[in-house]
Chain A
Amino acid sequence: MSDTLLVEPSAVSPTKRIVGELLRSREIAVGTVLVLVIAFTTIKSPSFLFSDNGWRDLLLTPSLLLLLAVGQTAVIITRNVDLSVGSTLGLTAYFTGKLFVDHPGLPIIAVFVAGLLMGALLGLVNGVLVAFFRVPSLVITLGTLYIYRGIFLSWAGSSRINPSDLPHGFLDLGTKQILTIPVLTIIGLVALGLTGYYLYTARGGRELYAIGSDPDAAVLYGLPVTRRVIGAFVLCGALAGLAGVVYTARYGTVSSNAGYGMELQAVGAAVIGGVAIFGGSGTVWGAAIGAFLLVTINRALPVVGISDFWQRAVVGALIIAAVVLDRVLSARQERRLIAARDETREPSA
């Protein structure tokens, strides 16, 4: 080989590079907005953060959306979307209540596992339909959104789950805190941590990114595309199922509109958190912060006295701003990369 190697060791030290990447990251940007929202609202109304209830609600309310957004991210990364998670949540929430009604002695942990499996099964149906029939996931999961909700409605009929149906130990989970952090939030954070760890460090996780980045190239690489896409849907369903159990524990009541419309919030949280809607990039950390931001803004706006209409408009504006920002940033990055290419070329001449 040629003696003149052109590879120069990176001039930036690893610490500096990591700090630089962190500062430019979407997670930090969205996190900053979240902190500003909390700070501003707290100035207007100190109890928003500094009362016991305020602190608890700040952490507890987003726990449901956190689970859904994490699962949704795994699916969106593969250039798919799961619109059925709201219905999955509702169905599993009712299933959880029903388990306690029919089998009063059941251990709580068994109910969590059952909810998780139930959600995973519903996710498997989505995944198999999408992966084998090669129909866009938008259409498939729009269909299962109605089907799962329909199953829920015909199963529940006019009955609903009430707090009196549920054991105290289970309902206590809704209020219990460990080191002032609500247990249900801890469940969400653990799910977040495990998923994020998998997506970053496992071959399977990286392959999800590859599939979303270029599905055709993924096939040429010999990646197990079908298996991975099904896996992503199963994960998303399982987390939605877990969210269903969490829903029942948090509210104690499950009526037929449980989880209604939450699928779009989950997609919104992921997009705000920097997950590209066409797949291939974004992290669950970003999506999680996006979920916290979405829920917190919804709670903060009434506190600062903004009307219901504007609350929804703000969320919409946030989503659009996030997408436009993505577009601008990626265009800028592409220009920078091309400029860098020119620079490296010059000395080689």
Chain B
Amino acid sequence: MPGTAPEAAPSWALELRDVAKSFGAVVALRSGSLAVAPGSIHALVGENGAGKSTLVKIVAGVHRRDSGVVRLHGNDVDFGSTAESKSAGVAVIYQEPTLFPDLSVTENIFMGRQPVGRSRRIDRAAMYAEATGLFQRLGVAIDPRRPARGLSIADQQIIEIAKAISLDASVLVMDEPTAALSGVEVDRLFAVARSLRDEGRALVFISHRFDEVFALCDTVTVMRDGEYVSTDAVAETSVEQIVSRMVGREVAELFPKTPAEIGDVVLDVAGLSSTGTFHDISFNVRAGEIVGLAGLVGAGRSEIARAVFGVDGYDAGTVHLGGVAVPPQKPRAAIKAGMAFVPEDRRKQGLVTESSVARNVAGVIRGRLTHAGLLTSADENRAAGPWAGRLEVKTSALDMTATTMSGGNQQKVVLAKWLSTEPQLLIIDEPTRGIDVGTKAEVHRLLSDLAGEGLAILMISSELPEVLGMADRVIVVCEGRITAELSRADATPETVMHAATASVSHAVPASTQEVTA
């Protein structure tokens, strides 16, 4: 029931009651409550900034709570470090994988608790054998001796899961484990999660994808603004009910793309190839049009976008923006020509997280703001203000650092940064990854408005509903090749997924090659 905490019972594997945590003046968690039964998978949902990650970090021992009760199998606990929570049988998979890139994947799994033989020497043979067993159980092909460097996010996630399983934890918390996974990988993860549940372990699953919550979980707890809202059995609730509790208001339309007037070709890409990454990529994007680039994770979508923007080089092909050739491998030239690029990993590639919001927003146009070569904070604030206001970035002041903001707000700052360059073309990679439902709708509305103003948008997304709802045209990429180009009318979950999983050797069916422009 909304407003009341779950009833206490001695049988809970993990129980939190009225847990609070503040960072200085910022209250991250007002009153978090959660009760997870052994042998169940418990979903924890809420908008970004609802306090889910803080709650997870308190359970993990990263943060110490200010007040409230945390019980593990009925015993009060207060973890002062991650080592303590680990030894108590709590494994946590964080939103962003934390691996040691220089070490082998096996060492990553067993670091700090490697199997040791006589005189406490590490028994490498046993370690590799155990890692191989874990990977077999997870059904993945990863060489246990290879370094963690160069692994895709999905593979890194698998390593994190292998780590958690090898801990033999009784409580397993997964903070958005599926954000970077493709359909097959998600299915694999779910199979593992269910087998862990059947062994009597308690799992906490945080996700923004409701279909996953409903497919996997037994119980769902909703949080809003750092407070506990409700706990229900999944079978007795609905998506609409949960969404309305999360946002505290009814969400009418998740993907509100409004029709816009389609103008001239803005971006024209012809015959773009890069050995081993993508081959013979040709497409265009018109003014006022949103083109969705769909496909499985690892299909080469982000790489194509990076090549178009000039971050990575390519072997053959041309890129024209507004009829003018854009030179390869020169992002500055691309920006000057009128391209903007919001990358997939906004923390690493989109933001200077230690800098203020204003400095981040003004970063690209700083050259235009200087007086006699000097750049003042006042200039930056003046330039950043209107954009931050328009995007409703929820920060009290423009001089707040970007690192303390939620994912949704960070994304808005990145968008504000690029929009201040007044681009003709916006390339946006996974616009709503890790962003809560409310902000997601805001981002979608904003993209739609921008298209309405004549901006050409190339949107890469792994979320099918987002692609289908937003895009005027969908280009599907599979293993580095375009396998289909679908008009809004032709694009259905079936046609897109069919093309996304099509083998390269198959010719593209003529019926799906129809292009509307």
In whole angstroms, what is the CA distance A217 to B138 when docked? 23
Query: Which of chain B's residues 1-26 have a Cβ closer than 8 Å to chain A?
Result: none
Query: B82 and A7: CB pair below 8 A?
Result: no
Answer whether A220 and B98 are a contact pair too, CB < 8 Å, given A203-B114, A337-B150, A345-B298: yes
Residue in chain A with minimal CB distance to B111:
A210
Q: How far is the CB of A348 from chain B (nearest CB, A)?
A: 7
Answer whether A6 and B98 are a contact pair too, CB < 8 Å, given A201-B122, A207-B111, A341-B150: no
Query: A2 and B191: CB pair below 8 A?
Result: yes
Answer whether A222 and B98 are a contact pair too, CB < 8 Å, given A2-B139, A213-B103, A341-B150: no
Answer whether A202 and B120 are a contact pair too, CB < 8 Å, given A337-B146, A341-B150: yes
Query: B137 and A6: CB pair below 8 A?
Result: no
> Which B residues are in CB contact (< 8 Å) with A203?
112-114, 116, 120, 122
Query: Which of chain A's residues 1-50 have a Cβ closer than 8 Å to chain B?
Result: 1-2, 4-8, 10
In whole angstroms, what is the CA distance A214 to B276 when docked? 29
Q: Which of B102, B192, B195 contacts A209 (CB 8 A)?
A: B102
Query: Which of chain B's residues 108-167 have a Cβ closer than 8 Å to chain A?
Result: 111-114, 116, 120-122, 132, 135-143, 145-147, 149-152, 155
Most A CB atoms within 10 A — which of B81, B114, B141?
Answer: B141
Most B CB atoms within 10 A — which of A8, A10, A276, A341?
Answer: A341
Size category of the B interface is 35 or more
Query: A6 and B141: CB pair below 8 A?
Result: yes
Query: A222 and B81: CB pair below 8 A?
Result: yes
Residue in chain A with minimal CB distance to B100:
A213
Q: How far is the CB of B471 from chain A (nearest CB, A)?
A: 24
Query: Which of chain B's residues 194-212 have a Cβ closer than 8 Å to chain A?
Result: 195
> Which B residues are in CB contact (< 8 Å) with A223?
83, 111-112
> Which A residues are in CB contact (< 8 Å) with B479?
346, 349
* A344 touches B (CB below 8 Å): yes
Query: A221 and B102: CB pair below 8 A?
Result: no
> Which A residues are in CB contact (< 8 Å) with B138?
1
Query: B135 and A7: CB pair below 8 A?
Result: yes
In whole angstroms, what is the CA distance A7 to B145 when docked? 13
* A339 touches B (CB below 8 Å): yes
* A219 touches B (CB below 8 Å): yes
> Which A residues are in CB contact (< 8 Å) with B142?
7, 344
Q: How far is the CB of A206 from chain B (nearest CB, A)?
A: 6
Query: A280 and B111: CB pair below 8 A?
Result: no
In whole angstroms, what is the CA distance A216 to B353 when docked? 16
> Which A residues are in CB contact (< 8 Å) with B83?
222-224
Q: Which of B84, B101, B113, B137 contacts A213 (CB 8 A)?
A: B101
Query: A337 and B111: CB pair below 8 A?
Result: no
In whole angstroms, what is the CA distance A202 to B118 when docked? 11
Query: Which of chain A's residues 179-232 have a Cβ closer than 8 Å to chain B?
Result: 201-203, 206-207, 209-210, 212-214, 216-224
* B99 touches A (CB below 8 Å): yes
In whole angstroms, what is the CA distance A207 to B122 when docked? 12
In whole angstroms, what is the CA distance A342 to B150 when docked? 11
In whole angstroms, what is the CA distance A206 to B151 when docked? 21
Query: Which of chain B's residues 72-102 have a Cβ closer than 8 Å to chain A?
Result: 81-86, 94, 98-102
In whole angstroms, what is the CA distance A341 to B86 when docked? 31
* A265 touches B (CB below 8 Å): no
Query: B139 and A222: CB pair below 8 A?
Result: no
> Which B residues are in CB contact (< 8 Å) with A337?
146-147, 149-151
> Which B residues are in CB contact (< 8 Å) with A7?
132, 135-136, 139-142
Answer whether A210 and B147 are a contact pair too, CB < 8 Å, given A8-B141, A346-B479, A349-B501: no
Residue in chain B with minimal CB distance to A4:
B139
Answer whether A206 and B150 are a contact pair too, CB < 8 Å, given A220-B94, A280-B103: no
Query: A5 and B111: CB pair below 8 A?
Result: no
Query: B150 and A1: CB pair below 8 A?
Result: no
Residue in chain B with minimal CB distance to A347:
B141
Q: Which of A1, A202, A217, A222 contacts B100 (CB 8 A)?
A: A217
* A281 touches B (CB below 8 Å): yes
Residue in chain A with minimal CB distance to B135:
A7
Q: Which of B86, B116, B141, B150 contacts A338 (CB 8 A)?
A: B150
* B489 touches A (CB below 8 Å): no
Q: How far is the CB of B207 from chain A (nearest CB, A)?
A: 21
* A172 touches B (CB below 8 Å): no
Residue in chain A with minimal CB distance to B480:
A342
Residue in chain B with minimal CB distance to A209:
B103
Q: How far is the CB of A18 from chain B (nearest CB, A)?
A: 11
In whole angstroms, what is the CA distance A8 to B81 when docked? 38
Query: B98 and A214: CB pair below 8 A?
Result: yes
Answer whether A281 and B98 are a contact pair too, CB < 8 Å, given A220-B62, A222-B83, A341-B152: no
Query: B111 and A341: CB pair below 8 A?
Result: no
Query: B103 and A222: CB pair below 8 A?
Result: no
Q: How far is the CB of A193 from chain B (nearest CB, A)?
A: 14
Query: B102 and A276: CB pair below 8 A?
Result: yes
Query: A206 and B107: CB pair below 8 A?
Result: yes
Residue in chain A with minimal CB distance to B61:
A222
> Which B residues are in CB contact (< 8 Å) with A349?
479, 501, 503
> Which B residues are in CB contact (< 8 Å) with A333?
147, 149-150
* B184 touches A (CB below 8 Å): yes
Q: How far is the CB of A271 from chain B (nearest CB, A)?
A: 16
* B445 touches A (CB below 8 Å): no
Q: How far is the CB of B186 from chain A (nearest CB, A)?
A: 13
> Which B residues are in CB contact (< 8 Å) with A222?
61, 81-86, 112
* Per-residue contact bits, chain B 161-190, to A (CB 8 Å; 1 contact, 0 not): 000000000000000000000001000100
Most A CB atoms within 10 A — which of B100, B103, B116, B140?
Answer: B100
Q: Which of B94, B101, B121, B141 contacts A214 (CB 8 A)?
A: B101
Residue in chain A with minimal CB distance to B138:
A1
Q: Which of A5, A219, A281, A342 contacts B139 (CB 8 A)?
A: A5
In whole angstroms, what is the CA distance A162 to B381 when docked? 68
Residue in chain A with minimal CB distance to B86:
A222
Answer whether A217 and B149 are a contact pair too, CB < 8 Å, given A1-B191, A206-B111, A207-B112: no
Q: How far is the CB of B108 from chain A (nearest CB, A)?
A: 8
Q: Which of A1, A202, A221 contacts B195 (CB 8 A)?
A: A1
Residue in chain B with minimal CB distance to A339:
B276
Query: B191 and A344: CB pair below 8 A?
Result: no
Answer whether A202 and B122 are a contact pair too, CB < 8 Å, given A2-B139, A221-B112: yes
Q: Which of B98, B100, B113, B191 contacts A280 (CB 8 A)?
A: B100
Query: B152 and A2: CB pair below 8 A?
Result: no
Residue in chain B with minimal CB distance to A280:
B102
24 A-B contacts (beta carbon < 8 Å): A1-B137, A2-B191, A5-B139, A6-B141, A7-B139, A7-B140, A203-B113, A203-B120, A203-B122, A206-B103, A206-B122, A216-B98, A220-B82, A220-B98, A221-B111, A222-B84, A222-B85, A280-B101, A281-B102, A333-B149, A334-B150, A337-B150, A341-B155, A349-B503
7 smallest beta-carbon distances between A and B, as pairs: A222-B83, A337-B150, A280-B102, A222-B82, A213-B100, A217-B98, A6-B141
Q: Beyond the given A2-B188, A222-B112, A346-B479, please list 20 additional residue pairs across the A-B interface where CB-CB is below 8 A.
A: A7-B135, A7-B141, A7-B142, A10-B145, A201-B122, A202-B121, A203-B113, A209-B100, A209-B107, A212-B102, A217-B99, A220-B62, A220-B82, A223-B112, A276-B102, A333-B150, A341-B155, A342-B276, A344-B142, A345-B298
